[in-house]
């Protein structure tokens, strides 16, 4: 048999208003369509690939370019501008939007612009992930052994076959398989991979054909989850079937297409699909190395899917990676929501085990399992088999063990399954958890008699793997949501860095930007060992809130200098300064003193500068209008003063009522606005803006005799917000009514 060493690498180039709706995309109106299942998203990707499927000789690079045409926006907020997206979707399960573009370059530019429009929102191009047989037929040590044997001239026959390592026997699952054959219930292991050879005899009674699916962009429909090209998913699934009884079924979730390409989003959909279709265990013999420049936020999308899996009671086992590096550099093995599995193998004397030389290590490694020279199913005619190596082969050994736990305890979640693994772990390397083997390997030889096992057990503390906060939560203590279902110890809490978060009893208080761990400890009892669960607290910079007491000033050219004011609400701590765009109307100092230069209207902004704890924030506009000095008014004669001054003064000092807009009529690049006329009004001001908060609004004035105006030169397809107010002038005194209720309209 040929030995195959399989590995994965990643190619690099993750409700403010209701949906669906329409948004503008550079002159093109785009509807936001709801997608409520992973299958619906996969169908969108399939349609996106329509033109590519018609081409001949499609390569992995072609597929990766298609993937980069997608942009993910982790927000339900309606986007005012998508910068050229041809389609926009909202995936309700994940809570994010998917934007499709004509080219990868357009998508990249859109990400840059959208990040400016929506600071703090995670926006990124979809990431291609490639399945590679990185060292096919080529492990150096094994090939050297074969060569040495071939060169022995005194032997009549040379054995060049590689000796398979029976990892199932090592973990005691051959015996357990026999013991468990009459157990009641069932369990399903979802294999998120390249598909499964559905015609292979090993899967005849083991494949969950009803729920198996193809989420890759190369085909939909019945049996599309088949694995005709790669073999990787078939090998992985074969290990699970050989290690478990018939009650354990395989759900094939194909995410890699025929060229071996997948995307970060498609793999995330695979997790959601498995959870929605009640998988008990998820096997992910895949991953990608986190290279310099990779943003930590780029893993949030899949981490949120893993969080949903934990809540649903699904256990997720993932490969630690084959780069012989720290598991912290491999995702999703580095995720705190998953169980990271490394590879071990026997030494030549067969009496002990070592970590495989390709297997990733580090503090985030949880367990080790057999991964060198593993015999399993392969694609091809009949009962084709192969020997393959990698953490991809180690992971299904532990996934099979998880399936046994779920057979006995269908209500157990991942943390409880983990505690059972620790109960039966054989410690290797340094005592306790180490960087080479994690907690060691699981030996289930006697797991059938678990009920009679009187040895001390490990406790299970179920808590979120990570909690994200900002400095806006500075004065908001919170309690970690904990389920303590297996154990009877006393819980205590401690922080690894009180500069980020401190603990008071069971409450956690944010103290600064950074990350730390809250260590939850269940004390040792007569029945249970002391057990820890760690929750990562990530605190990011907060958003500052600026209060501006006066947002509009009306001045004359001869008026003296004046001061604008604003304040930053706590806990914001940035330095407050004022600035204005270049203009001929005024100058403003950083501390808010304004010097009038000429007539016109301009805007001043209060800016809260960035600090160690908060990001830079800009206020809504402070609008300043400067007019020519008024002409002197003639003095009234005595008769006028005696006969009419009382009524006139009463009229001039009467309050100005709030304006009421009667109708807003959109036209081509125009809007006609009609309002209720007020007898006391000398004029009206009409302002309009693209933003609901009226930021950067433009203002026009009309005579008080008018009750309508047509605003021209507007942008077609854009939504505008409009307000009107009445103005009354008495000499130099100007009295303005309140702005009318906002009306919104989409221009034709």
- Chain segment 212-270, per-residue pLDDT in tens: 999 987 765 556 788 878 899 999 999 999 999 999 999 999 999 888 889 999 999 99
**According to the model, what pLDDT value does residue 162 have?**
76
For domain 466-536, the question of CATH label 2.60.40 is answered with: yes
pLDDT of residue 2: 32
Q: Which of 343, 356, 392, 495 is catalytic?
A: 392
- C-beta separation of 740 from 725 below 8 A: yes
Distances, alpha carbon 497 to alpha carbons 503, 513, 530, 542, in Å: 10, 11, 22, 19
578: confidence class by pLDDT, cuts 50, 70, 90:
very high
Distance CA 623, CA 603 (A): 5
> Regarding predicted confidence, which is higher, 562 or 4?
562
Residue 53 phi/psi, 5° resolution?
Answer: -65, -25
> Which pLDDT tens digit goes with each residue over 173-201?
999 999 999 999 999 999 999 999 999 99
Contacts of 235 (CB under 8 A, 6+ apart): 4, 6, 374, 376, 377, 378, 386, 388, 392, 393
Which residue in the list 139, 200, 232, 397 is annotated as catalytic? 232
Residue 135 has pLDDT above 50, yes or no: no
Catalytic position from the list 126, 193, 227, 366: 193
Q: What are phi and psi of 165, to 5 degrees?
A: -95, 120
Architecture, CATH, for domain 162-450: 3-Layer(aba) Sandwich (3.40)
Q: What is the DSSP string of 722-743?
A: EEEEEEEEETTEEEE-PPPPPE
Question: Does 402 have pLDDT greater than 60?
Answer: yes
Q: How far apart are CA 112 and CA 477, in angstroms?
A: 35
Could you tell me where the DSSP H helices lie in 91-172?
A: 104-117, 140-150, 167-170
End-to-end, the C-alpha distance of the chain in Å comes to 69
Average of pLDDT values for 497-518? 95
Same-fold call for 162-450 versus 546-627? no
Tell me, what's the pLDDT at 117? 87
Average the pLDDT over 455-471 and give the result: 94
What average pLDDT does the segment 473-491 reach? 94
CB 257 within 8 A of CB 216: yes
Model pLDDT, residue 148: 45
Give the pLDDT confidence score for residue 32 in this predicted structure: 85
Per cent of the chain over pLDDT 90 is 66
Per-residue pLDDT at 397: 98
Which sign, positive or negative, has the C-alpha torsion 405, 409, 411, 417? negative
3-class DSSP state for residue 251?
Answer: strand
Q: What is the pLDDT of residues 6-34, one digit of tens each?
A: 333 332 222 233 344 444 444 444 578 99
Q: Determine the Cα–Cα distance for residues 88 and 93; give it in Å rounded to an integer.
A: 16
Give the model's confidence band at 575: pLDDT under 50 very low, under 70 low, under 90 confident, else very high: very high
What DSSP designation does 632 have?
Answer: P
Q: 546-627 domain in CATH 2.60.40.10? A: yes
Residue 458 pLDDT > 70, yes or no? yes
pLDDT at 138 over 90: no
Cα dist from 660 to 653, 664, 721, 725, whole Å: 21, 11, 14, 8
Whether pLDDT at 638 is above 80 = no
The predicted pLDDT at position 133 comes to: 42
Q: What is the pLDDT of residue 296?
A: 60
The pLDDT assigned to 633 comes to 62
Cβ(667)–Cβ(725) under 8 Å?
Answer: no
∠ Cα 237 238 240 (to 5°): 65
Concerning whether 392 is annotated as a catalytic residue, the answer is yes
Residue 157 pLDDT: 43
Reply yes or no on whether the pLDDT at 645 is more than 90: no
pLDDT at residue 308 greater than cutoff 50: yes
In the predicted model, what is the mean pLDDT of the chain?
86
Q: What is the pLDDT of residue 406?
A: 98
Provide the whole-model pTM.
Answer: 0.76
- Per-residue pLDDT tens digits for 268-298: 999 999 999 999 999 999 988 876 555 566 7
> Which has more pLDDT, 238 or 666?
238
Q: Which residue has the tokens 């008018």?
A: 706
Of 78-92, 633-647, 692-706, the range with the highest mean pLDDT is: 78-92
Predicted local distance difference test score (pLDDT) of residue 194: 92
Give me the pLDDT at residue 293, please: 53
Give the residue, 188 or 743, on which the prediction is more confident: 188
Confidence of residue 51 (pLDDT cuts 50, 70, 90): confident
Q: For residues 429 and 343, what is the distance between their CA atoms, to the nearest angstrom?
A: 14
Residues 683-742: pLDDT tens digits?
999 999 998 888 889 999 998 888 999 999 899 889 899 999 999 888 778 888 888 988
Q: Which residues pair with 725 in a beta bridge?
A: 685
Phi, psi for 101 (deg, rounded to 5):
-125, 165
Distances (CA, A) of 624 to 164, 527, 594: 81, 74, 10
CA distances from 194 to 56, 216, 338, 340 (A): 22, 9, 20, 20
Task: Assess whether pLDDT exceeds 80 at residue 568.
Answer: yes
Domain boundaries, the chain: 3-132, 162-450, 466-536, 546-627, 659-746
pLDDT > 80? residue 136:
no
d(CA 300, CA 283): 19
Query: Among all chains, which residue has been given the structure tokens 């392969």?
Result: 378
Confidence bin at 155 (pLDDT 50/70/90): very low
> Which CATH entry fits the domain spanning 659-746: 2.60.40.10, 2.30.42.10, 1.20.120.450, 2.30.110.10?
2.60.40.10
Write down the pLDDT at residue 63: 82
Q: Which residues contact 50 (CB under 8 A, 6 or more apart)?
A: none
Q: Hey, what are 202's tokens?
A: 């090993």
Most confident of 9-13, 117-121, 130-134: 117-121
Write down the pLDDT at residue 19.
Answer: 43
């Amino acid at each position: 048999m040929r030995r195959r060493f399989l590995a994965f690498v990643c190619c690099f180039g993750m409700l403010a208003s209701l949906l669906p709706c329409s948004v503008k995309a550079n002159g093109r109106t785009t509807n936001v369509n709801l997608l409520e299942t992973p299958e619906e998203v996969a169908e969108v990707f399939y349609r996106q690939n329509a033109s590519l499927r018609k081409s001949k000789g499609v390569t992995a690079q072609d597929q990766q370019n298609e993937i980069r045409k997608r942009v993910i926006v982790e927000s339900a907020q309606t986007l005012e501008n998508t910068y050229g997206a041809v389609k926009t979707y909202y995936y309700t399960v994940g809570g994010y939007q998917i934007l499709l573009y004509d080219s990868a370059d357009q998508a990249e530019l859109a990400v840059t612009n959208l990040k400016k429009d929506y600071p703090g929102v995670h926006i990124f191009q979809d990431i291609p992930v490639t399945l590679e047989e990185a060292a096919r037929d080529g492990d150096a040590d094994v090939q050297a052994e074969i060569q040495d044997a071939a060169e022995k001239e005194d032997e009549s026959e040379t054995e060049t076959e590689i000796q398979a390592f029976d990892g199932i026997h090592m973990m005691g699952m051959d015996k357990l398989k026999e013991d468990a054959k009459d157990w009641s219930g069932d369990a399903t292991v979802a294999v998120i991979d390249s598909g499964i050879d559905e015609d292979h005899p090993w899967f005849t009674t083991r494949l969950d054909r009803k729920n198996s699916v193809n989420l890759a962009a190369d085909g939909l429909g019945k049996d599309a989850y088949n694995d005709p090209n790669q073999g990787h998913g078939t090998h992985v699934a074969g290990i699970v079937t050989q290690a478990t009884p018939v009650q354990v079924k395989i759900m094939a979730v194909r995410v890699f297409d025929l060229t071996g390409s997948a995307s970060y989003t498609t793999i995330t959909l695979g997790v959601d699909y498995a959870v929605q279709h009640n998988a008990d265990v998820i096997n992910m013999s895949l991953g990608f190395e986190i290279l310099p420049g990779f943003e930590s936020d780029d893993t949030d999308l899949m981490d949120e899917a893993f969080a949903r899996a934990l809540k649903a009671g699904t256990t997720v086992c993932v490969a630690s990676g084959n780069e012989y590096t720290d598991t912290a550099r491999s995702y999703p093995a580095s995720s705190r929501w998953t169980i990271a599995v490394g590879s071990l193998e026997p030494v030549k004397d067969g009496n002990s085990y070592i970590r495989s030389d390709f297997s990733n290590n580090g503090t985030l490694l949880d367990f080790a399992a057999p991964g060198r020279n593993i015999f399993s199913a392969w694609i091809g005619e009949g009962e084709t088999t192969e020997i393959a190596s990698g953490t991809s082969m180690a992971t299904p050994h532990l996934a099979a063990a998880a399936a046994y736990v779920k057979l006995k305890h269908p209500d157990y979640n991942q943390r409880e399954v983990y505690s059972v693994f620790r109960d039966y772990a054989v410690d290797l390397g340094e005592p306790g958890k180490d960087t080479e083997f994690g907690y060691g390997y699981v030996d289930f030889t006697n797991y059938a008699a678990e009920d009679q096992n009187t040895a001390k057990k490990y406790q299970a503390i179920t808590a979120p793997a990570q909690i994200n906060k900002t400095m806006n939560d500075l004065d908001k203590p919170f309690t970690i949501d904990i389920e303590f279902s297996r154990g009877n110890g006393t819980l205590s809490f401690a922080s690894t860095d009180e500069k980020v978060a401190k603990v008071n009893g069971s409450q956690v208080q944010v103290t600064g930007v950074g990350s730390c761990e809250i260590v939850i400890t269940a004390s040792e009892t007569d029945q249970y060992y002391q057990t820890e669960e760690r929750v990562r607290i990530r605190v990011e910079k907060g958003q500052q809130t600026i209060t501006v007491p006066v947002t509009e000033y009306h001045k004359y050219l001869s008026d003296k200098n004046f001061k604008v004011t604003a304040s930053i609400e706590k806990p914001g701590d940035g330095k407050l300064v004022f600035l204005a765009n270049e203009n001929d109307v005024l100058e403003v100092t950083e501390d808010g003193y304004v010097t009038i230069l000429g007539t016109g209207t301009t805007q001043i902004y209060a800016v809260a500068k960035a600090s160690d704890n908060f990001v830079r924030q800009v206020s809504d506009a402070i609008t300043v209008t400067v007019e020519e000095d008024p002409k002197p008014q003639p003095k009234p004669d005595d008769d006028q003063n005696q006969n009419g001054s009382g009524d006139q003064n009463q009229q001039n000092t009467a309050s100005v009522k709030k304006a009421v807009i009667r109708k807003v009529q959109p036209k081509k690049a125009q809007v006609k606005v009609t309002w209720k006329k007020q007898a006391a009004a000398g004029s009206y001001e009409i302002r309009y803006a693209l933003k609901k908060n009226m930021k950067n609004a433009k203002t026009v004035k009309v005579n008080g005799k008018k009750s309508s105006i047509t605003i021209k030169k507007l942008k077609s397809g854009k939504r505008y917000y409009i307000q009107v107010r009445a103005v009354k002038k008495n000499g130099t005194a100007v009295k303005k009514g309140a702005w009318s209720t906002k009306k919104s309209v989409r221009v034709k």
